[in-house]
């Protein structure tokens, strides 16, 4: 068995790994590489020949850094099957259409800029809506815990990763030249005791582990404190008459926030107030959540048994049109506005912030990871004024970080996971992927301190022969 690391090697985006066994080529994920525009375009447009010629793709989950270049892969010539859980397929259908739309808009913008500079020729999008829809025709869905024979001597099974709806770890069981081996790919690993989803599972007898490392050097704040913090921010805007803006990723985070507000209302910890879900994508994703109760944890199943709809608050308004969004923007009332994008770089949240940031009555609650140079990060770093749509906007609103909402395991949770895996078998080697250098190196060191001898941090485009 050989492992190839084509993406998310010494970086957090563009997850793309390959397994070669009994002459079969199996891809694990095909994510979008996100970074500087030029480099991202180049990497996303020219996928490795090895990947294009692969016979199978097993997809861990529907975040775009894991599935976002599937339409590009199919467009570049991949003809194989794509395996995922059913919720991952449904969520990928929404995420890939949204991603195609962004690429089409981006190409139009770049073409316009080229023309203005006196150059000819259109910039083509990485992929179109048509490409995204065609790639969906390759999907075959499988539930958790149902082993599937992929090829001679190769089986795989999905296990619950506890990260987002439908997210799976992939266990590959191979028999090659009379030798058996079990390889576990973590995908993105979630956290224990999180709302909505069940905990990450522990798999037995794992020989090789490919492990994500996003927070390999960090500890999260306690998730249990987040509901209380959110209630405190709601109290504040009720007194000031302002709005609570929550920039949110559409997938998982928006639903988690809705559930938190729902519970706070049900427990009378906050009064009922208007909650605007100002994101058609988050709204559609919330409907997908309702179709997959088989993925819910016990608390959510109990809610469903009581005919309690977990993702609806008492006064939830799903904002559809941009006109409706503008009406919400100027309405004078205490209300919660949940809108994308999660890092305030584009989408309707930017309009809300350009209008509301200069009022001390308002609050912005940052609930997700904010990359460098994004508007979200600038707000967290107390930059004042901030530039929005070419204008300086004074920041007088309260800015607060509620950073216990992460869907990724942190350092203590990653170490716990590996310890549990080791307690149920002889783990020979761990490959650390999907992390920035500092996280990767710290996690490697921490794992070595637990007595685990073989920990690799693969370079981009590296190959490991596990039979050697």
Q: Which of 63, 352, 378, 444 is the binder for Zn ion (CB under 5 A)?
A: 63
Place of tokens 């949240």: 349
Q: How far apart are CA 39 and CA 53, in angstroms?
A: 23
The count of other CB atoms within 10 Å of the CB of residue 375 is 24
Give whichever of 188 and 446 is closer to Zn ion, judged by the CB atom.
Answer: 188
Residue 255: CB minimum distance to Zn ion, A: 14
Residue 424: CB minimum distance to Zn ion, A: 25
Give whichever of 65 and 233 is closer to Zn ion, judged by the CB atom.
Answer: 65
Give whichever of 282 and 303 is closer to Zn ion, judged by the CB atom.
Answer: 282
Residue 84: CB minimum distance to Zn ion, A: 13
Q: Which range, of 62-70, 91-99, 132-140, 195-203, touches Zn ion by CB under 5 A?
A: 62-70
Residue 417: CB minimum distance to Zn ion, A: 15
Q: At what angle do helices 129-136 and 86-116 cross, to 10 degrees?
A: 160
First to last CA, the chain: 9
Query: With binding defined as CB under 5 A, does residue 252 bind Zn ion?
Result: no
Characterize the bridge pairing of strands 179-185 and 168-176.
antiparallel
Give whichever of 158 and 245 is closer to Zn ion, judged by the CB atom.
Answer: 158
Residues 232-251 that bind Zn ion (CB under 5 A): none
Residue 170: CB minimum distance to Zn ion, A: 14
Residues 93-112 that bind Zn ion (CB under 5 A): none
Residue 49: CB minimum distance to Zn ion, A: 27
Cis omega (within 30 of 0) for bond into 341: yes
Give the rounded distance of the alpha carbon of 37 from its chain centre.
Answer: 20
E strands, 76-202, where?
Answer: 81-84, 139-141, 148-151, 154-160, 168-176, 179-185
Q: Which range, of 10-18, 61-69, 291-299, 445-453, touches Zn ion by CB under 5 A?
A: 61-69
Residue 167: CB minimum distance to Zn ion, A: 7
User: What is the torsion angle, in degrees rounded to the nearest 10, for the CA atoms of residue 192, residue 452, residue 25 and residue 149?
Assistant: -60
Diameter of the chain by CA atoms? 71
Residue 304: CB minimum distance to Zn ion, A: 25
Q: Which range, of 21-29, 59-67, 77-85, 357-365, touches Zn ion by CB under 5 A?
A: 59-67
Give whichever of 63 and 75 is closer to Zn ion, judged by the CB atom.
Answer: 63
Characterize the bridge pairing of strands 398-401 and 363-366.
parallel
Residue 305: CB minimum distance to Zn ion, A: 29
Give whichever of 6 and 276 is closer to Zn ion, judged by the CB atom.
Answer: 6
Residue 352: CB minimum distance to Zn ion, A: 26
The count of other CB atoms within 10 Å of the CB of residue 388 is 16
Q: Are 430 and 455 in contact (CB under 8 A)?
A: yes
Place of tokens 């944890």: 297
Q: How many binding residues for Zn ion (CB under 5 A)?
A: 2
Going residue by residue from 137 to 176, which x/- string records binding to Zn ion, judged by CB under 5 A?
Answer: ----------------------------------------
Residue 260: CB minimum distance to Zn ion, A: 20
SS3 278: strand
Q: How far apart are CA 158 and CA 168, in angstroms?
A: 6
Kind and range of the H or E run holding 437? helix 437-449
Q: Are 79 and 200 in contact (CB under 8 A)?
A: no
Residues 172-191 that bind Zn ion (CB under 5 A): 188
Q: Which range, of 56-64, 94-102, 215-223, 231-239, touches Zn ion by CB under 5 A?
A: 56-64
Give whichever of 189 and 350 is closer to Zn ion, judged by the CB atom.
Answer: 189
Give whichever of 24 and 188 is closer to Zn ion, judged by the CB atom.
Answer: 188
Task: Select from 400, 420, 417, 398 the least CA-distant residue to 409.
Answer: 417
Give whichever of 29 and 227 is closer to Zn ion, judged by the CB atom.
Answer: 29
Q: At what angle do helices 224-240 and 253-266 cross, to 10 degrees?
A: 70
Q: Which range, of 60-68, 119-127, 201-209, 317-325, touches Zn ion by CB under 5 A?
A: 60-68
Residue 63: CB minimum distance to Zn ion, A: 4
E strands, 72-207, where?
Answer: 81-84, 139-141, 148-151, 154-160, 168-176, 179-185
Q: Which range, of 55-63, 97-105, 337-345, 379-387, touches Zn ion by CB under 5 A?
A: 55-63
Question: What ranges in 308-384 are assigned the alpha helix state H?
Answer: 322-330, 348-356, 375-380
Contact positions toward Zn ion, by CB under 5 A? 63, 188
């Amino acid at each position: 068995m050989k492992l190839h690391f084509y993406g998310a090697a010494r970086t957090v985006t563009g997850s793309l790994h390959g397994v070669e066994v009994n002459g079969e080529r199996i891809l694990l994920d095909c994510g979008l590489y996100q970074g500087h525009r030029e480099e991202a375009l180049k990497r996303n447009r020219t996928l490795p020949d090895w990947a294009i010629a692969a016979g199978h793709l097993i997809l861990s989950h529907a975040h775009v850094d894991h599935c976002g270049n599937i339409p590009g892969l199919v467009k570049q010539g991949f003809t194989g099957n794509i395996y995922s859980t059913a919720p991952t397929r449904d969520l990928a259908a929404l995420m890939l259409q949204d991603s195609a739309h962004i690429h089409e808009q981006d190409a139009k913008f770049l073409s316009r800029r080229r023309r203005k500079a006196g150059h000819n020729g259109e910039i083509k999008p990485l992929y179109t809506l048509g490409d995204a829809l065609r790639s969906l025709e390759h999907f075959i869905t499988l539930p958790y815990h149902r082993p599937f024979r992929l090829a001679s001597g190769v089986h795989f099974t999905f296990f619950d990763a506890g990260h987002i709806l439908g997210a799976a770890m992939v266990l590959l069981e191979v028999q090659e030249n009379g030798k058996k081996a079990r390889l576990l790919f973590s995908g993105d690993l979630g956290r224990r005791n999180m709302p909505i989803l069940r905990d990450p599972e522990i798999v037995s007898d794992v020989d090789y582990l490919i492990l994500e490392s996003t927070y390999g050097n960090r500890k999260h704040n306690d998730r249990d404190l987040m509901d209380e913090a959110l209630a405190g921010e709601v109290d504040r805007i009720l007194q000031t008459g302002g709005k609570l803006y929550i920039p949110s990723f559409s997938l998982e985070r928006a639903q988690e926030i809705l559930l938190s507000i729902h519970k706070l209302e049900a427990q009378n910890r906050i009064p009922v107030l208007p909650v605007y879900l100002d994101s058609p994508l988050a709204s559609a994703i919330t409907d997908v959540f309702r179709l997959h109760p088989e993925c819910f944890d016990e608390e959510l199943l109990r809610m469903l048994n009581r005919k309690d709809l977990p993702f609806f608050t008492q006064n939830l308004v799903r904002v559809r049109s941009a006109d409706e969004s503008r009406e919400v923007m100027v309405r004078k009332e205490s209300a919660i506005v949940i809108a994308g994008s999660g890092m305030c770089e584009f989408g309707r949240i930017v309009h809300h912030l350009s209008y509301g940031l200069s009022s001390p009555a308002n609050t912005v609650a940052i609930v997700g990871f904010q990359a460098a140079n994004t508007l979200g990060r600038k707000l967290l770093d107390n930059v004042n004024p901030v530039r929005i749509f070419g204008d300086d906007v004074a920041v007088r609103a309260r800015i607060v970080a509620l950073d216990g909402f992460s869907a990724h395991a942190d350092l203590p949770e990653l170490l716990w996971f590996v310890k549990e895996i080791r307690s149920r078998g002889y783990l020979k080697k761990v490959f650390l992927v999907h992390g920035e250098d500092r996280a990767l190196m710290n996690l490697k060191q921490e794992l070595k301190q637990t007595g685990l001898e073989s920990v690799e941090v693969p370079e981009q485009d590296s190959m490991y022969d596990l039979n050697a």
